[in-house]
Every structure is written in structure tokens, then in C-alpha cells.
Amino acid sequence: MKSIAVVTDGINKLDIFLKNNLYEIFEGYAEINLYHFNKLKEGDKLEENVVLVMIKDRVLKAKNYVDDSKRIIVIDRAIKAKEIYRVFEIPDNMDILVVNDNYETTLQTVSLLYQIGINHLNLIPYDFKNDYENIKIAITPGESNFVPQYIDKIIDLGNRIIDIATFYKIVSHLEIKDKDIIDRIVKYSDKLINIHSGIDQRQKELVIRNEHMDTLINLSKDGILLSSPEGKITTYNKKFLEIMELNNSQVKDANINDIFKDKLSFLLHDENIVDEVVNIESKYLNINKKTLNYLGKKNGAYINIQEITYIRQLEQNLSKKLRQKGQIARYELGDIITSSDRMIKCKSFSKKIAKTELTVLITGESGTGKELLAQSIHNASDRKKQPFIAINCAAMPENLLESELFGYESGAFTGASKEGKRGLFEQANHGTIFLDEIGDMPLHLQTKILRVLQERQVMRIGGESVIDIDVRVVAATNKCLLELITEGKFRDDLYYRLNVFPIRIPSLRERKEDIILLLKHFMKRNLELGSCVEEILQNYNWNGNIRELKNVASYIDTLCEGDYVTINDLPEYIRIKYNNNYEVEIDVLNDKKSYDNAISVLKILNDNTKSGKGLGRNSLISILNQKDIFCSEGEMKKVLNLLDNLELIKSSVGRGGSKISEKGVGFLEYVH
Ligand SMILES: Nc1ncnc2c1ncn2[C@@H]1O[C@H](COP(=O)(O)OP(=O)(O)OP(=O)(O)O)[C@@H](O)[C@H]1O
């Protein structure tokens, strides 16, 4: 057998490394012997066919032990490709410390790195005598123990391996003609970066692109998997492992058969899968698969798995809630409490139209009682014993609303259950469907609703046949549909279909007579309202209408301690307008030395409230006189002017006299 001698300076781990490195190519062809210059004696002869030394300088030294110096070869070394590509993750122009076991080898490494094409970084050779504290990254070829402590990140390229040019030289010296050796060298060349060829630019770009792809794939919230035509898994992301509850070792280099054979075997047979929802234990998964083609040839598969358990639960909860809320008509027309003429008319009109089969459109501000009226109409109709189904068109995402209203056939879309589902129109058959907030209905669903109203038929999503339905539609909105039509948000043909029997419920502001009536109706306790409380409530805006009034009633019910409701028992947002601390008013009256007279006048006017009339200057002076308070006409004029300016009284021109204002009542309550 042929033989190779490797001569290094002394014993270190490098010679073992080189020996193994040589065996990768020459195992079975040559034996490898290690020598050290510091152990060789004068007269020693190296008989091996080839003698390898590490650097040119050592050739001279080696000649002393080798008869024929042609047998001496200097080893050229290269870097493993796999390692070097990590260097391209480092951003351009950074200072990088290059560290080797001594300064000379460090310089060699720097030059090697430049030669092979690392030119986007500032490579700084490490000299242990200097400090490089501002540098954070170091590159070393297998000498990380020489890297200084302050370095944050070390890229260890591993020991430099023997370059292929060196192997070819050795093969030619050993005169080995076997093709196997050449195959071994070619295979070996794949893993190193050759000094002469440098880094393949395309390879470099590919590596960087791969890095970016990996980052992208891992950022995805979907589980992603790619497989080769034979089913070998080539790429997958962390989310895939998480969803499938697998770990790296189970998936890396595995075949998709191993992964999917138990639970998702359809993934192995079906070529393309679109939005297939499956249920595995407690999870719902939405699965897509695409067979990849390259120039008409199958080139593996792309599998995407989304976990939709949460969406599924949301959908189920939402429709359950909506259904619980909207399936029964609890109210009758008699439950609509009112003393307003307009509302009384509205009720009797509703009673008449309830008996017809016609579509009703109820309009009115939010909280005016539109749903209450819709339920009452149903209960006053011949459909009373049939279902009443209410749906709030503004409360649902568009897709869900469509499937709720029209239902779907099995597997019609993502999340669709296998059995399919009846829509609300079907469920309301023979009864009434109440489409609340119809103004918020998306345009494409408006078209579908129009069709239902015209044809009295529905078609499920993904279905092919129509289903006859007999449903009365009552719709409601707090929006002005005519305005929406001009804005292009509502179909005019649907509007005219719905507006067959329009009913407008007046706002609470337009039927003030209902305010106290309803408040007392909603309060569980029998409480007396202070006169200024009534006035405040009558003058309040009630933008939230009866719903807001109902809330105020429970507020008072809960917080009022006695039997008499004062301003302080009202919610702060109502009180705030009337309830200030009156310090300004008190200061003004004191400044003008009119405080006592002003209070006396306010008390008289307050006691006079029930009469509903105002009191003139002279009447006030004579009532004061009866109480032994003397006030001249001039003084009274001044006091009334002040009170009027401070809005504590309302003085009318002419003979109307003065009345205390709500603010004046609050002021009196405050000062006493
Ligand atoms: N006249 C009334 N008598 C008794 N209760 C009423 C009256 N009007 C409304 N309510 C009550 O006020 C609350 C709000 O009414 P409803 O939900 O019917 O209003 P809405 O106009 O449909 O509101 P939105 O536009 O916000 O859907 C309900 O609790 C309802 O029972």
C-alpha cells in the first residue's frame, strides 16, 4: 500500500485532524503517518511516497529528511462552504475580528477570507496585544479559545480542511488511477470553498435568499410544509410543528406518509385541497394543498394548515348568542307604555298592519323601541305561534351574516360544517324575520334579500336548488335610508320593497309626556321626584331614548336613599349641567351686598312654583315685608337683575313677573 507522511512542528490536535481529513480520500489506498519536526533526529529518513508539510517555509526543513524533494508537497487549505455562508448573515461594513492561534495564521486567514470573496466586511486581524472592545463579532477557523471575552458572537468556521488541488497533487504522486478516488475528491469538493474559485456568487445569493425565505416562512401564522415529488419533507415552519404537535426530529427528513397517515390521510391521496375543515381532537384545522408542477411535471406539494379552533368557537358563540336573544317574541302591543298621542296612533296603526302579510319598515332613533314594536307586531299577527327570528345586521361580519341568513350546504366554505346549516330565513318559515339595523346590511346581501322578498325563495351558500319560504319581513333602522341611497350605500329598489308599511317611532324628545311616565314604570320603587329633578329630566336630551331612560331609572332605584329623589340622585352626566358649586354666584351676590335679599327672593319664588305663575316686584316686596324684611323698590330691582343675570330666575318682560329657574332651585338646595 502507498503511504503519506504528514510533518507538523509538534504534537497538537491539528495533525489528528489532518490525518482524518486525508483518510476521507485515501482510506484503503494509502496509509498515513504523522511526524513532528521537533522529534525528528539528524539522519532520520522519511520513506513515504509523499511528504506533506503545512507551509512553504517548512519545505527546506523537510528536505533534510527526504532524499527526493519532489516528494514534498505543501498543503493548501480551504474552508467548509457550510460554515462560510453563515458569514453572509452579517450586515455589510461591520468590523469583524479575525482570530487564529497566532498572528501569522491570523493574517493568513484574513487573506484567505478576502480571497474567497468575503468583501462586504472589514476584517481586522486579532493581535492579542491590542484591545478591540468596540468589536462585537469574531470569526475564527476552529480557534474559538483564542477569542477575547468581550466578543458577543463567535462564528467558528471550523478547522480549515485540505484543498482539492492538494489532493490531486497527492493522487498524481501516488499514481493512483482508480476512478473511485476521483469520485471521492469530486464529492469532497462540494463541501469546501476553494481558494482559486472563491464563493459562487449565485450560491451566495441563494443562501441569503434562503435565509429570508426561512424568516418569512417562520413569520407566517399558518403551518407550512413543502415536500418533494417522493413525499420527502423539504421545508416546514415552526407553526406547522406547533399545530401538529410534532417536534423537529419527527419531521426533519421524514416522509409525509409518516406524518399524515393516521390523522390526515386524505392529504396523501388528494392532489389539490381547498379549505377543507377537519376536526382533530379539540382542534379545528383548515387545510389547503397544492401539487406543485414544473414544466408540466409534478414537483412536490405545498401544504398549508391553519388552526381555526378560535374562529370556530367565536362563530358558534356568536350565532348561539344571537339566536338566544332573537328567537322569541316576548312583547305585545300592550307592553308599549305611552301617553303620547303620536305613540298611541303608532300602536293602533301597528295593530292594523299586524294582521296583513305585508313587509314593515320601522324607523326611529336608537333605543326608541323598534324591536319591541317588531315583536309586538308579530304577536298581534296570525303568525303569533310561528317563529320570530331577529338578527342584527350590524353586529356580524359580512361572511357570517350571509351564512346566518341563507345557510350553507356542507363544505361550502372555510369553517362550514360537514352537515351544512339552515339559514335564518328557513328557520323563520311561516313566521317573521326581524332584520334589525338593515341600513348596515352590505350591498351584495341587500341584493340577495331583495331576491328573497321578490321570489319568496332562498338558496343556501354553495347550494344548487332553491327553497320556498313563507316569511314575513319586518325591518328596522335608525339610519336615514334615503340618505344612504344617495350615498350609494343602500339599494333604492330594496328600499321601496321594504317601505310598504313605514312606521316611524318618535324619539323621546318628541314625546316628553312619556319621560316621567316611563321612568316611573321602569323604577321598581315608588319614589317621589323633586320638582327640579322632573324639570331636569324633561329638558335632558335623551339621545339614547328609552334604553337610556331605563338605565337612569335603575340608577335612581339603586342609589336614592330616601323616598324623595333629589338632583344628587341623578347620574353625574345628567347632573353636571345643573350641579355646579355655585361659588361664582355666591361671590357675585356677596360683592353686591345682595346675598340675603337674593336668598329670600329665591325662597319666595320657589314656594310659588306650584302656582305656575310669576311674581312681580311689588308682590315680592310685600311678601318680604310680611316676613319683616324691608327692601326698597330700587334694591329689589337690583336683586332681580342680578338673579336674572346669574340665570337663577327667569324674568318675563311686562306683567309676567319672575319665576325660579332649575338652576335657582339647585342653588337654593346647595346653600341650605
Ligand atoms: N314604550 C315602551 N314601553 C316600555 N318599554 C320600552 C318602550 N320602548 C322601549 N322600551 C324598552 O327600551 C329598550 C330599548 O328598546 P328596543 O331595543 O326595542 O329599541 P330599538 O329601537 O330596537 O333599539 P336599537 O335601535 O338600539 O336596536 C328595551 O328594553 C325595550 O323593552
Task: Characterize the bridge pairing of strands 283-294 and 407-408.
Answer: unpaired
DSSP 71-136: GEEEPPEEEEHHHHGGGGGSPTT-EEEE--SSHHHHHHHHHHHHHTT--SSEEEE--TTS--TT--
State if residue 338 touches ligand 1 by the CB under 6 angstroms criterion.
Answer: yes
pLDDT at 484: 94
Q: Using CA atoms in the order 387, 393, 398, 400, what is the torsion angle rounded to 10 degrees? A: -30
Residues in the chain where the model's pLDDT stays below 70: 81-82, 191-212, 294-297, 312, 314-327, 411-419, 576-581
Ligand 1: centre distance to CA 556 (Å): 19
Atom of ligand 1 nearest to the CA of 372: 18
Neighbours of 391 (CB within 10 A): 23
Ligand 1: centre distance to CA 369 (Å): 3
Q: What is the mean pLDDT of the chain?
A: 86
Instruction: Extract the C-alpha cell encoding 479.
Output: 339610519
User: Which residue, chain included where needed, has cell 469520485?
Assistant: 183
Q: How far apart are CA 377 and CA 432, in angstroms?
A: 9
Give the residue, out of 330, 350, 371, with the most ligand 1 atoms within 8 A of its beta carbon, to mutate for a pocket test: 371
Distances from the Cα of 391 to the Cαs of 326, 378, 476, 494, 505, in angstroms? Answer: 7, 15, 11, 18, 20
Class of domain 220-307: alpha beta
Phi, psi of 125 (to 5 degrees): -70, 135
Ligand 1: centre distance to CA 387 (Å): 20
State if residue 547 touches ligand 1 by the CB under 6 angstroms criterion.
Answer: yes
Instruction: Extract the C-alpha cell encoding 23.
Output: 483518510
State if residue 371 touches ligand 1 by the CB under 6 angstroms criterion.
Answer: yes
Nearest to 119 by CA among 130, 128, 111, 108: 111
Residue nearest to atom 26 of ligand 1 (CA): 366
pLDDT at 579: 55
Distances from the Cα of 388 to the Cαs of 68, 113, 319, in angstroms? Answer: 108, 79, 16
Ligand 1: centre distance to CA 545 (Å): 8
- Sequence-ordered alpha helix ranges (H) in 434-512: 443-455, 481-486, 492-498
> At a CB cut-off of 8 Å and minimum separation 6, what does 661 contact?
647, 648, 649, 650
Residue nearest to atom 24 of ligand 1 (CA): 366
User: Which residue, chain included where needed, has cell 417522493?
Assistant: 230
192: enclosing H helix or E strand: strand 192-193
State if residue 224 touches ligand 1 by the CB under 6 angstroms criterion.
Answer: no
State if residue 364 touches ligand 1 by the CB under 6 angstroms criterion.
Answer: yes
State if residue 367 touches ligand 1 by the CB under 6 angstroms criterion.
Answer: yes
Atom of ligand 1 nearest to the CA of 375: 18
Ligand 1: centre distance to CA 577 (Å): 26
Residue nearest to atom 16 of ligand 1 (CA): 369
The CATH architecture annotation of domain 80-160 reads 3-Layer(aba) Sandwich (3.40)
Atom of ligand 1 nearest to the CA of 366: 25
State if residue 336 touches ligand 1 by the CB under 6 angstroms criterion.
Answer: yes
pLDDT at 51: 95
Residue nearest to atom 9 of ligand 1 (CA): 369
Class of domain 508-575: mainly alpha
State if residue 58 touches ligand 1 by the CB under 6 angstroms criterion.
Answer: no
Q: How far apart are CA 469 and CA 14, in angstroms?
A: 87
Q: How far apart are CA 278 and CA 264, in angstroms?
A: 9
Question: Domain segments of the chain: what residues?
Answer: 2-75, 80-160, 220-307, 312-504, 508-575, 583-671
State if residue 337 touches ligand 1 by the CB under 6 angstroms criterion.
Answer: yes
DSSP 539-581: HS--TTHHHHHHHHHHHHHHH--SSEE-GGGS-HHHHTTT---
pLDDT at 600: 93
Atom of ligand 1 nearest to the CA of 514: 1
State if residue 372 touches ligand 1 by the CB under 6 angstroms criterion.
Answer: yes
Burial per residue of 140-152, b for 16 or more beta-carbon CB atoms within 10 angstroms, e otherwise: bbbbeeebeeebe
Phi, psi of 590 (to 5 degrees): -65, -45
Three-class SS state of 250: helix
Per-residue pLDDT reduced to its tens digit, 280-331: 777 888 888 888 876 566 778 899 998 887 776 766 666 566 555 556 788 9
Q: Do domains 80-160 and 312-504 have the same CATH topology?
A: yes
The CATH architecture annotation of domain 2-75 reads 3-Layer(aba) Sandwich (3.40)
Nearest to 72 by CA among 173, 161, 196: 173
At the topology level of CATH, where does 312-504 sit? Answer: Rossmann fold (3.40.50)
Atom of ligand 1 nearest to the CA of 373: 18
CATH no. of 583-671: 1.10.10.10
State if residue 347 touches ligand 1 by the CB under 6 angstroms criterion.
Answer: no
State if residue 550 touches ligand 1 by the CB under 6 angstroms criterion.
Answer: yes
